[in-house]
Amino acid sequence: MGIIEKMKLDGKKGFVTGAARGIGKSTAKAFAEAGADVAIVDLDYDEAQKTAAELAEKTGRKVIALRTDCTDEKQVDEMVAEVVRELGGLDFCHNNAGICINAPAEEMTYEQWNKVININLNGIFLTDIAAGKYMLEHGGGSIINTASMSAHIVNVPQPQCAYNASKAGVIQLTKSLAIEWAKRGVRVNSISPGYIGTELTLNSPTLVPLIEKWNAMAPLGRMGTPEELESICVYLAGDTSTFTTGSDFVIDGAFTCF
């Protein structure tokens, strides 16, 4: 079997959180194109349904939509159980849901801090554990977490201490779970995207004025696209990455190199 055949995800089942749009939608599309059945998990159920229908039509795979608050342990557990029931198992997941609040540290409320930490870090923990429990009991699997280059640098000019701290926590959580589960068949890795031009980013009144500054600082002179994250996620979800666990993959166009 050649490497292209080995890269396929035929017969695999998985879910992506925050998948109604943006990075999550793009990776869910890639998983389905590679042959997997996928659950689109998002708080925005209407948009998740649209995405699921679109990907099912384009790829011919089984793609379902599930509404889940990833900060609610009961909902997360029920989501994983539903994925297993509807798709017939769980081989991989991409835990991608997250938010960012830009506010100077001295002005950021504790409520804002907690909201970011709860979604970006606690939500990843809950989805990792729920998926991991199933995988540990059923022969293993692959967990992919979305961290950020913001776990490695302090972004400028926007103030976002809660986001940076939450994403650094995601990387350390990823490494910790990878060590705990290494001999039990469950691999855990993270991706750390740089600035990515999603529909939300490119149309945000808050962020649009910053894009010119980011691009001026970027070695490649531009933002990345969601599609440029697809191949690493397909690799991590599949069987050619069986020696890869506890790693963080920085995909930032060399932004963090200086």
Active site residues: 148, 163, 167
Is there a contact between 126 and 73 (Cβ–Cβ < 8 Å)? yes
How far is 190 from 1, CA to CA, in rounded Å?
Answer: 28
Is there a contact between 165 and 147 (Cβ–Cβ < 8 Å)? no
Q: Which of 60, 64, 1, 66 is nearest to 34 (CA)?
A: 60
Burial zone of 113 (CB within 10 Å; 0-12 exposed, 13-18 middle, 19+ buried):
middle
Tell me whether the omega of the peptide bond preceding residue 226 falls within 30 degrees of 0, making it cis: no
Which letter does DSSP use for residue 195 in this model? S
Residue linked to tokens 């890795």: 189
